[in-house]
Every structure is written in structure tokens, then in C-alpha cells.
Amino acid sequence: MNTSAAIQKVDAIIIGSGFAGMYQLHSLRDKLGLNAKVIERGAGVGGTWYWNRYPGARCDSESHTYMYYFSKELVQEWEWSERYPQQPEILRYLNFVADRLNLRSDIQLNTAMTQAHFNESTNRWLVTTDTGEQYDAQFLITAVGCLSNANVPKIPGISDFKGDWYHTGQWPHEGVDFTGKRVGIIGTGSTGIQAIPVIAAQAKHLTVFQRTANYSLPARHHPLSDEFKEYAKKHSADIYKVMTSNTNGHAFYIDDRSAIETPADVRQKTYEEKWEMGGFQFRASFRDLLTDEAANKTAADFIRQKIRGIVKDPKVGEILSDIDHPFAGKRPPIDDHYFETYNRDNVSLVDLRSAPIEKITAKGIKTTEQEYEVDIIVFATGFDAMTGSLVRLDIVGRNKRTLKDYWSAGPKTNLGLQVPGFPNMFTITGPGSPSVLSNMPPTIEQHVEWISDCISKMKAKGLNCVETSEAASEAWQKEVDRAAQATLLPKVKHSWYLGANVPGKPQVFMPYAGGFAHYRTICDKVASEGYTGFQMS
């Protein structure tokens, strides 16, 4: 480690080189002419898609909406091959963008930020890395992703296990060969549900350890036709308009009909059609699915019935369909023959609700009922979401207060973009913004553009500090809470949206549930009215 190097002065340090960090670099460097640098702990660009290489990893957003739209050239030059892109294809796309925009020269790989301290006399950040460099930056911009801090549950006995274990979010680059192996997988969220069919196809035996049964929608993957590829390029402006003018950032609107007011036969037909169509369109079948318990139950019952119809063993079907929360109250996975996988002879299901995991032993996983011998354990146990990847960074703001300390009772931000007491710091898709409740790339683009405009306006006026106020952040947190309470989302007490999946984490509903388009309007209004709630000096 070289600690004697001179401190390098830059306009902005950006942490992370996924979708957010790369566009932020391009915006500051190539549009505003600033000196910006990205620090990336991985050995390559891609963020989430660099780390999440588990079997079956794909995006649940359709490929033609899971890309940058800020550049017509990028839209026209890139071609997706499938309806839902697989992880290697998304990583290729992000590498293509890094090359096409010549970003690599300002991205420092294999480097983790170890500290960022705000200097109140200069209004600048002193950023230190694990490679011994120090940067003196006017702006600190976090682009660390919402789901990047792996959550490996502290189950006793893990160090006794004689086999290999992996967390899906830290998957080995060389892959894992399951051939001839007995595999245990813990977790049936979006990740587990994607991985289970793929691992089952290779392993000698797969035992799935399910704590909470989950809804899942069929994805209906397929290669894209030449006609669709041409359509998506030709109509990219219209597609983008739909994505940015609705609640969810996808290229479809939520149907304005009420599930309750729709006659039962028509409702059933709608669900059947959406089920066949595949993907998140099912969630958009009716306007009241996420706000009215009775409406939600119609969708939930439909899916439960589908599960019981697909799974041949009625006992297994019962465990899989005994779901204790409203449909989409947790982020619903979409899958590729997930429930069908339980009809394979080499797959078994363990219901952890009736017999929880007691410990991990040298030979496998022991529940209160039985020990299951396995050669490999896969933890598909999710992430310390939204705040975990931020508080683990040693960020120290005004009055030497750490972000971790400031957020000890839960995150507090203004618009998910700034934190009071941390001037000149921006948090792309931070807690309090729609982020994970929306398709990520358009929400990232919106944040990057808002931040870049704000910086550009400051520069034009010769100002050097922007800081949100405590009062504005309090008011925004109230709005975040109000928006959540207007939905069924906070009713799910074991959801990562609330931080409930990480023991000891304060339980606060973190993303903004008021919808992407509405949120965007609020952000635009704040900017056009001279950045109300943000002081510039």
C-alpha cells in the first residue's frame, strides 16, 4: 500500500461502476467537462451484474427496457438476444458501454473506498482507498447499488461444514460444478427461484430449504425475433416515454380497472392471459392489486391455484402455495419452470416453517427434525438492502458524524438524493427514492440527470456547496411513509423493503412507493423552484 502518494484533486469521486456509476461519470466528465473518477472494488465494471453470476441469473425487466436511453446511438447500436437478458449478456452490454463511451480511463478497478471525510472548512471530501490513494473531491457520489451487500445468515456451525458454500451475490467467476453433488439451497426469493431449476438440472440431488413460501410468475423466456428487435429500435422514443411516465419504469402501464369491480369471469380471463404472457405484466392486471386486500386476494388465489396445479405431489404443492403475505407485498420473482422443478425425482423441499434450521454441521444442514447431508450449500439469502452498502462505507459528514450513526434508527434522506449533514454528497437510487420498486435503469438515469443538473447550476453560479436540510428530509421521510402506508407493502413484516431480513436492522420502509412518474415530477419541481429543501452556498 502506497501511503506517501500526493492527494489528487478532482471534482467528483463516484463509488461504483454499475449502470449508475458509469452514466454519472459520462455525465460529469463528457457533458459538464468535470474531472471525475470512479472507484470500483471489482476487477471489472458492471456492479450487480459483475458480482451476481449464480446459475440462472437473469434480469426480470425486459431487455429492451433494461438499458440506457440517454444516448440514441447506444440504443441503436446494441442488440439484445432474449426477452429477459441473462447475466453474461448484461455484463457484455455494460462493457460495451464502457468502451463505447471511453470510460475505462477514469474507472479505477480493484479499489475499495475505505473512508470519506467531509472537510467543513473547504466543503470538500477527503476520500481514501484501500490501495493507499487519497482524493480531495468537491463531490462524493455513491453509485453502490441497492442490493450489493450480501446477507449470509449467522447460522451456528458454518465453520464446521466440510463441503463448500457460496452466497449467490459473491459467486466464483470460474462457476461451480454441481455434477454428481448433493446440494442444499437456502432461500426462495427472486435469486433462489432463478437458481433452483438450473442447479436441479445438474446436481445429483437438490434440497430446497424454504422459510417463506413465495409467489412467482412465469417469465416465458424466448429469443427476440428480428421483427421485435427492429420495432424496439424504431420506437425507442415511444418506449422510453411509457417507461418514464408510469409507476414502475417498465414499458407497460398498470390497467386502470379494479379487480374487485371486474366480473369474476372477466377477471379470471385477464389473469389467465397475463399468466400466459409472462413477467411483471401480471402485476399490472388491475389498478388496486397493491392497495386493496380483497383485490390482492383475487390475484393471490389465482397464483396459489396455479402452483397446486403445476406441482404433482399435493403435500409439496401445499407447502409451496401456503403463502402468508399479499401478492407483490414482497418483490415477486419471475421464473423459468420453477414450480415444475419440484416434479423432478432429484429435488426435495424442506419446510423451515414447521422445522427451522438449528445449525450447520460438518455434513450438512440440521433442522429441528432432521439432518440433511449435502456436499454444497448455496445461500440465496439476499442482501442487507438499500442502506447496507452505504453504511458499511466509512462516510463521515459534518461534526464528525458517520452515516452509520446518523441512520442508526433508519435511513433519512431528501428524495433519496441527499442526506442532511453530508454536504456535497449524492446517493444515486438512495433510500427514499423509487429505486427497487421500479425498473432500475430509468430511475438511475433520472437521478444521474438530476444530480448533474444540480452540479451544473451550482458551477454556473460559482457556488461550491449543496446540502439538504434536516427539516426537508423529515418532511420527505413522512411522505415516504405516507406513500408506503397507502399500499399493502408495509403489511409484509418479513420483507427486505423494511430491512426485516437482517437481524438488528431498524425496520423502516425504505423505497418510495408513490410511483416513479410522480416522484420524477416532484424532483423536477424541486429543481425548477430553485432546489427547495436544498441550500446552496
Residues found near ligand NAP in the complex (CB under 6 A): 58-60, 147, 153, 186-192, 194, 211-212, 331, 352, 357, 380-383, 436, 494, 496, 501
Smallest separation (angstroms) from ligand NAP to the CB of 451: 23
At 29 the three-state DSSP class reads: helix
Closer of 40 and 335 to ligand NAP (Cβ)? 335
Closer of 493 and 525 to ligand NAP (Cβ)? 493
Smallest separation (angstroms) from ligand NAP to the CB of 152: 9
Closer of 171 and 476 to ligand NAP (Cβ)? 171
Smallest separation (angstroms) from ligand NAP to the CB of 153: 3
Give how far Cα 186 sits from Cα of 193, 224, 360, 430, Å. Answer: 11, 33, 12, 28
* Contact status, residue 523 vs residue 451, Cβ threshold 8 Å: no
CA distance 432 to 519: 10
CA distance 275 to 272: 5
Q: Which residues contact 301 (CB under 8 A, 6 or more apart)?
A: none
Closer of 436 and 498 to ligand NAP (Cβ)? 436
CA distance 119 to 455: 19
Q: Which residue is nearest to ligand NAP (CB)?
A: 189
Smallest separation (angstroms) from ligand NAP to the CB of 119: 36
CA distance 217 to 225: 23
* Contact status, residue 288 vs residue 260, Cβ threshold 8 Å: yes
Smallest separation (angstroms) from ligand NAP to the CB of 84: 8
Smallest separation (angstroms) from ligand NAP to the CB of 52: 7
Closer of 372 and 383 to ligand NAP (Cβ)? 383
Is the alpha carbon torsion for 37, 42, 45, 51 positive or negative?
negative
User: Do you know the residue count of the chain?
Assistant: 537
Smallest separation (angstroms) from ligand NAP to the CB of 385: 7
State phi, psi for 347 to the nearest 5 degrees: -125, 130
In 214-344, DSSP assigns E strands to 217-218, 334-335
Smallest separation (angstroms) from ligand NAP to the CB of 15: 20
CA distance 361 to 342: 25
* Contact status, residue 318 vs residue 308, Cβ threshold 8 Å: yes
Closer of 414 and 438 to ligand NAP (Cβ)? 438
Grid coordinates given for 161: 461444514
Closer of 437 and 455 to ligand NAP (Cβ)? 437
CA distance 54 to 123: 42
* 124-129 and 134-142 strand pairing: antiparallel
State phi, psi for 462 to the nearest 5 degrees: 70, 25
Closer of 67 and 436 to ligand NAP (Cβ)? 436
Smallest separation (angstroms) from ligand NAP to the CB of 493: 10
Closer of 108 and 210 to ligand NAP (Cβ)? 210
